Amino acid sequence: MVELDCAVVGAGPGGLTAAIYLARYLRDVLVLDDRRSRALWIPRSHNCPGYPEGIPGPDLLDRLRRQAERYGVSFRQERVESLQRSDDGSYILTCGSETIHAQCVLLATGAEDVQAPIPDLDGAIRRGVVRHCPTCDAYEVRDRAIAILGAGDCRLQEATLLRSYTSDLTVLSLRRPLEMSEEERSELLSTGVALSHEQKRDQHDGDVADRIDQHLGRAEQQRVMAQRLQHEPDLRVVTISADSAGPRPARRGAP
């Protein structure tokens, strides 16, 4: 059995930063990771302090890992299968046939995205064509045509945020009606957003990733992309019309 002070489960930026601090507090630290950090998908992060030109996600993780290793942090590519607390308050982790005993465990497992049915989605994410975080990435796509992939009970917070960055915004609901409360609808309308519903067109033209690469420059491209996302007859597209929406609202604090 491996004995140590702290086990960190997950080697994204959060887990690696915690490991660095713990090691500098003279703790014996082991990081367990299955190499699935969402940061590996980031083509270039521009909101990480200290990198004025931005930094690719894999490079950021590599730098953090090397910094942690400098202070004695150990790494193991494993997936934790079970975690139990002992009577004395310590923890037992099981990784395959091995058992690890740690006085404390820090869970930095992050989030797992519900992926849209897009061919070569991983490639599109690594190219920066499909993005997961409007808060992180909206600045880089300001004044460009943006499509939001949202379905079911999507509450359109993303649409409200992105409306400050572009006047050309489309919500693709992936064959499910986009459900909104009256309060949410009123909130969108108050920002100058107009909603219209369109049925799927019987047209097959081009690869969806290519269509996104073109940043949905025309309404026809938007419809083709939506149709390609899911070959279902009941696909619905909710379009936020730039023509009828008017100028985008001023950002808070703007003159």
Provide the pairing of β-strand 91-95 with 146-149: unpaired
pLDDT by residue, tens only, the chain of 255 residues: 789 999 999 999 999 999 999 999 999 999 999 988 888 888 899 988 999 999 999 999 999 999 999 999 999 999 999 999 999 999 999 998 889 999 999 999 988 777 777 777 778 877 877 887 888 888 988 888 887 776 555 556 777 788 888 887 777 766 666 677 788 777 777 776 555 454 444 344 344 444 444 433 444 444 444 444 433 333 333 433 333 344 455 444 443
138-143, Cβ contacts within 8 angstroms, sequence gap of 24 or more? 138/162, 138/164, 138/165, 139/46, 139/47, 139/165, 140/46, 141/165, 141/166, 141/215, 142/166
pTM of structure: 0.70
With a CB cutoff of 8 Å and minimum separation 6, the contacts of 106 are 6, 7, 8, 9, 15, 18, 22
Question: Could you tell me the domains of the chain?
Answer: 2-107 (3.50.50.60), 121-245 (3.50.50)
Q: Residue 131 corresponds to which amino acid?
A: R
Tell me how far apart the alpha carbons of residues 168 and 192 are, in angstroms, rounded to a whole number.
Answer: 12
What the block records as the tokens of 33 is: 């990771």
Asked if residues 235 and 225 have their Cβ atoms less than 8 Å apart, the reply is no
Total residue count of the chain as it appears in this document: 255
Asked if residues 150 and 77 have their Cβ atoms less than 8 Å apart, the reply is no
